[in-house]
Chains A and B, each alone.
Chain A
Amino acid sequence: MSTSVAVLHGTFGRVCLYDMDRAMVIHAHREGHLIFHVQGPPAEAVIDGRPYPIGPGQAVAISPWQPHFYRPVRAATNTLALVLYIKPVWFIEAARSATSSLRFGRVGIEVAAPIARRIAHVARTMLAEIITDQSVQGALAELTQACFDQSWQWTEEGAAFLGRVPQAWDFRVRRSLNLMRERLGEELGLDEVARESGLSRPHFYKLFRETMGLTPNTYLNALRMERAIERLSGSHDAVADIGLDLGFASQSSFSRFFIANGVVAPSDYRRSVHVARPRP
């Protein structure tokens, strides 16, 4: 069972220290994503069917909405990982890129000495008793900036590491995105979303994939995860109620979903989350 050591929410997004021992399902999220190895055996992230190592010398950078999943390489031994979910808007100033901010140039990040030091620093900060937004924000900015810049630097591997290039938006896809967001938790099938967006089911799936780079199901799951995380950290609502509101039949099915998409159980997430507050 993967467990959460510490989770911190702030203006930057989320940063999590997870003790991980199991594979996840393919998922995506709107934040830019960095996964660093802290301790234990190496693991890997799979993107487009290709595994990228997460180990002492290697990390992965996943762009917003890029489908991916984590899996251990050696079963039965836990890997301690530092996982960043960076809000693109927070990073917008630091990104020196013309495309959407926080789109990484490639997935594979070499953990050079300066990056390794920053990982250790953030991991240590996560374990501190009192964390202010400021105490971690500078370190996270430096870490994200270092990985972002490196991902656009040329290496021997060259363009082979490049992620996908986002496509132009289709208004019907945009309509479907709105529908899914507004009616999250209602009994809304994707067939209905397709119909209301003015598309046949196969055409909807194809167009959505081309535009967003992920399936409507993966997108819907990401929205559910966002809402779940929001309520777990920002309210005292019972876990079972949150699951029910999101359309899950039982707490156990909600937990299974949350673990597969977000590493740890919802109750574990709630227990370890800390919301960093800006200094008054």
Chain B
Amino acid sequence: MSLITYLTRVHFADRVLEDALESELALLGASRPLVVADGPEALDRLMLSLPRGTRAAAAFVPPSGPAREADCAAAALTLAAEGCDCVIAVGGAGAIDAGKIAGLAGAGAGIAALLAGAGGAGGAGGGRARPVIAVPTTADSGAGVRAAVRVLTAAGRHHWLRDRRLVPAAALCDPTLAAADTPAATAAAGLDALTHCLETFLGNAFNPPADGIALEGLRRAGRHLEPAVADGTDLGARRELLAAALNGALADQKGLGGVHALAHALEEARGAAAPRHGSLHAALLPPVLAFNAPAGRERFAAVAAALGLAPGADLPEALLRLAERLPLPARLGPLGLDGAQLDRVARRAEADPANLTNPRLASAADYRAMLEAAL
């Protein structure tokens, strides 16, 4: 078992949920956790791992999609009503984000106030925040350690909240928790982890440690994504994907890029029918990389090498081939978006925080062209 303390305390090992939960709760001096979960399996294991005498309250969120404002508010209400002294968020990105928001809202300001004051340096405020222990069960939640969360508001918009206090007090990365995923879910989550590493590495912010972490994540994702998809019981491959997700999140300070800007906007546009986060990356990677090539082609070689491609391989082409081998759509055409919807998606991509750190300045018109190329 290893304890990694970049950014926060990260326990990384098979069955670490059982091993580390008690000591982490003791460290926080907490005994009344609010458990935010998105499914029964991980929740069962979690409840059995709680030390004797723990009085837990629970809040549930849907198994996929971003955290919904109403669920966050319900979780925060439960936290206040039950007098919870910490939050344990277990599940995919939606559960982790909802748990973090409930923890940040604490017993003070409501969710709406938190969202209204959102964004930017030192944005959100109010209330006494509760510490969060994140227990990620998929590779698309940045191993639970990111300082940013996404909320689906009551109005159907995706809202980003970025605050240092969203980094959990601890994360328990247990690869055995993800074993129940389908091949398509594994492919989407794994490709998302790969894309986090790719976009953070290509960003032109100066951050050598983040670059190194991102490259190492690419190396793991490049070698283990396909085996993990092919064989759901390949625990070694799952462990590597979760490690890649952790690396992608630790490099997150550099910011993401165009693939995420577009993916977020597309998911928002599809509303309740939104595809799983990561499942559209395969279609988006080639046009976004082609657009970014003039701004950072020299970094492509390092990415290709990390992914284990042959020297001189064309990176966008190789990623397209990878996408075709994965059980993910390689084109956006089947989504059936009309021209007006594409325009709206392009405008929302332009406004997405990830667009700020794309290596090349991209306008709504540029995003529209990239979407066309991916149809």
A-side residues, CB < 8 A to B, are 90-91, 93-94, 96-99, 110, 112-114, 117, 134, 137-142, 145-146, 149-150, 152-155
Contact = CB atoms under 8 A, between A and B. Distances in A.
B360 A141 contact: no
A1 B44 CA distance: 72
20 contacts: A90-B121, A96-B206, A96-B253, A97-B206, A99-B206, A110-B363, A112-B363, A113-B350, A113-B351, A114-B355, A117-B351, A138-B120, A138-B123, A142-B120, A146-B356, A150-B356, A150-B361, A153-B295, A154-B294, A154-B295
A134 B351 contact: no
Given A150-B361, A152-B205, 18 more contacts: A96-B203, A96-B205, A97-B206, A114-B351, A114-B355, A138-B118, A139-B120, A141-B119, A141-B121, A141-B123, A145-B120, A145-B356, A146-B356, A149-B255, A153-B204, A154-B360, A154-B361, A155-B360
A141 B122 contact: yes
B125 interface: yes
Grouping DSSP codes into helix (H, G, I), strand (E, B) and loop, the A interface class, with mixed when no group exceeds half, is helix
Contacts of B141: none
A153 B63 CA distance: 36
Interface string B347-362: 1001100011111111
B361 A138 contact: no
B40 interface: no
Contacts of A150: 356, 361
B130 interface: no
A154 B359 contact: yes
Interface string B98-130: 000000000000000000011111110100000
A127 B323 CA distance: 51
A117 B348 CA distance: 13
Grouping DSSP codes into helix (H, G, I), strand (E, B) and loop, the B interface class, with mixed when no group exceeds half, is loop
A152 B206 CA distance: 11
Contact of A153 (B118, B120, B351, B360): B360
A110 B361 contact: yes
Contacts of B357: 96, 149
Contact of A137 (B122, B254, B350, B355): B122
Contact of B119 (A110, A112, A134, A142): A142
Interface string B275-295: 000000000000000000011
B227 interface: no
**Smallest CB-CB A-B distances: 10 pairs:** A154-B295, A141-B120, A96-B205, A98-B206, A149-B356, A153-B361, A114-B351, A142-B120, A141-B121, A154-B360
B242 to A, nearest CB: 26
Contacts of A90: 121
A97 to B, nearest CB: 6
A138 B119 contact: yes
A154 B204 contact: yes
Nearest to B205: A96
Interface string B328-372: 000000000000000000010011000111111111100000000
B308 interface: no
A114 B120 contact: no
B296 interface: yes
Contacts of A137: 120, 122
B207 A96 contact: yes
B121 A93 contact: yes
Contacts of B359: 153-154
Contacts of B347: 113
Given A149-B356, A150-B361, A138 B117 contact: yes
A90 B362 CA distance: 27
A149 B347 CA distance: 18
Contact of B296 (A97, A98, A154): A154
A142 B363 CA distance: 18
Contacts of B125: 134
Contacts of A97: 205-206
A154 B357 CA distance: 10
Contacts of A93: 121
A149 B117 CA distance: 21
A134 B357 CA distance: 25
Contacts of B361: 110, 150, 153-155
Nearest to A143: B120
Contact of A152 (B117, B204, B253): B204
